[in-house]
Amino acid sequence: MTGPTDLPSLPDARFAGLLDEAKALQASTVALRRTIHRRPELGLQLPETQQAVLDALDGLPIETTLGTTTTSVTGVLRGSQPGPAVLLRADMDALPMPEDTGLEFASEVPNAMHACGHDTHVAMLVGAARLLSEHVDELAGSVVFMFQPGEEGHHGARHMIHEGVLDAGGTRVANAFAIHTFANLPTGVIATRSGPVLASADSFSVRVVGKGGHGSMPHSAVDPIPAAAEIVTALQTRVTRSVDVFDPAVVTVTRIAGGTTDNVIPETAELEGTIRTLSERTRAHLRTEVPRVAEQIGEAHGCRVLADVVPGFPVTAADETETQRVLDLAAEVLGAERSQRMANPIMGAEDFSYVLQRVPGAFAFLGACPPGVDPAEAAPNHSNRVVYDEDALAYGVAMYAAYALDSLRR
């Protein structure tokens, strides 16, 4: 037996052959991914997906706990020695949209599709659970596997936090890591950054109430349409004039509706949109500013305005130490050419942000561009035609496992 002073160096002891081990699991990883892809489920209640995860974990030395408010699965793998806990997350829900990929394992459920790669996330995390179960003697502490429903706007991570996922290992989770497949990066590339990785996402609605009338006599009505149009323009101007250019924000009106025909001035017009920011300071400012601008413009037009902002996900902000750990591991396990530090954040949003508000951690994109396709031309996440290179799954399995092994080194 090797003593504590003559252990081989960490790369030799922990990571030599780790990618090969992940590739050896490829058949089962792909099979699980395709099973889940065929039967996508939406929101917080995913019974088929939950059962698929439980079946895949069966026989492993992993303690599982089911959610009470959602169909979440929390797994705990306890190392051979006591120590801290590290959390690995995979989201499980699909999007409410049709699939037009033509894949042989395409969605069998109308208007539901795994267009954001969550099926690949689940398969990779199960693969990591299998791989780490073979390395349990090397772990001093616990690995918490967080299989989360409801990432697509349903705050599933918050539900799991409230139900104790951050304490599932018997001690508070010390650090956390999540991977997101991305069709617009070359296969196997890990891209991440510290600080804001993804934006916050809040939604707003504005209802402009005037007085209906005849289209030929606007003077006898109070027309909400010009007020609504001015609100759209003013919101864009307000962002550029009240938000620091070095702390960027996006306010986008995504829906505008009003009227029923060409010769009737309607009583109401409606707007909906999204607010994206990279800091909580700017987020708070715009959550106040959007209703204020809408209400005051409406008043100038003689209209009443009902404005509401619905809070969404906070900023996904990664810890520098954990981010550097991921980049170093990617270089060591996958190859230096596959480790990339992102220059800029992405204005999409993620509810892993709730975990990173409480625990230092990292969030990384994993390239999965289809073979023979320019990453810049690949159908993006949330497209009805997005396709992921399944060869990328082994890289994700290896990265999840390496992060846990590195975090819980004896």
CATH number at residue 285: 3.30.70.360
Which helix (DSSP H) or strand (DSSP E) does residue 348 occupy? none
Mean pLDDT computed over every residue of the chain: 95
Residue 120 sits in the same domain as residue 219: no
For residue 5, what pLDDT is reported? 40
In terms of residue numbers, what domain contains 53?
10-197+315-407
Q: Cα–Cα–Cα angle for 363, 365, 366, nearest 5°?
A: 130
Contact by Cβ (8 Å): 297, 231: yes
User: d(Cα 344, Cα 357) in Å, to the nearest integer?
Assistant: 20
Residue at 2 is within a domain = no
Quickly list H helices, 116-179. Answer: 118-133, 156-162
The DSSP call for residue 302 is T
Q: What is the dihedral of CA 389, 56, 121, 103, to 10 degrees?
A: 40
Please indicate, yes or no, whether residues 24 and 169 belong to a single structural domain of this protein: yes
Domain identity same for 175 and 192: yes
Helix, strand, coil shares, percent, the chain, to 5: 35, 25, 35
Domain check: are 140 and 205 in the same one? no
399 part of a folded domain: yes
Distance CA 392, CA 92 (A): 18
Whole-number Å distance between alpha carbons of 176 and 85: 9
The half-sphere exposure of 252 on its side-chain side, counting CA atoms within 13 A, is: 9
Q: What is the CATH number of the domain that holds 374?
A: 3.40.630.10
Q: Do 232 and 176 sit in the same domain of this protein?
A: no
Residue 36 region, left (φ>0) first, then alpha (ψ -120 to 50), else beta? alpha
Query: Does some domain include residue 3?
Result: no
φ and ψ at residue 161, rounded to 5 degrees: -65, -45
Shared domain check, 175 and 84: yes
- The answer to whether 350 and 180 have CB atoms below 8 angstroms apart is yes
**Which of 313, 331, 364 lies at the terminal end of a domain, its last residue?**
313
Tell me, yes or no, whether 307 and 368 share the same domain: no
The answer on 284 and 142 residing in a single domain is: no
Q: Which of 313, 339, 373 is the last residue of a domain?
A: 313
Residue 27 identity (one-letter amino acid) = A
Where the chain has pLDDT below 50, the residues are: 1-13
The number of beta carbons lying within 10 Å of the beta carbon of residue 121 is 28
Instruction: Tell me: do 309 and 298 sit in the same domain.
Output: yes
Q: What is the pLDDT of residue 7?
A: 38
**Cα separation, 392 vs 369, whole angstroms:** 8
How far apart CA 18 and CA 125 sit, in angstroms, is 15
Position 5 in a domain: no
Q: How far apart are CA 405 and CA 333, in angstroms?
A: 12
Please tell me the distance from the alpha carbon of residue 406 to that of residue 404, in angstroms, as a whole number: 5
335 with 288, same domain?
Answer: no
pLDDT tens-digit map of 121-149: 999 999 999 999 999 999 999 999 999 99
Domain count, the chain: 2
- Asked if residues 136 and 61 have their Cβ atoms less than 8 Å apart, the reply is yes
Coil vs helix vs strand at 26: helix
Are 53 and 177 members of one domain?
yes
Q: Is the dihedral of CA 58, 62, 68, 72 positive or negative?
A: negative
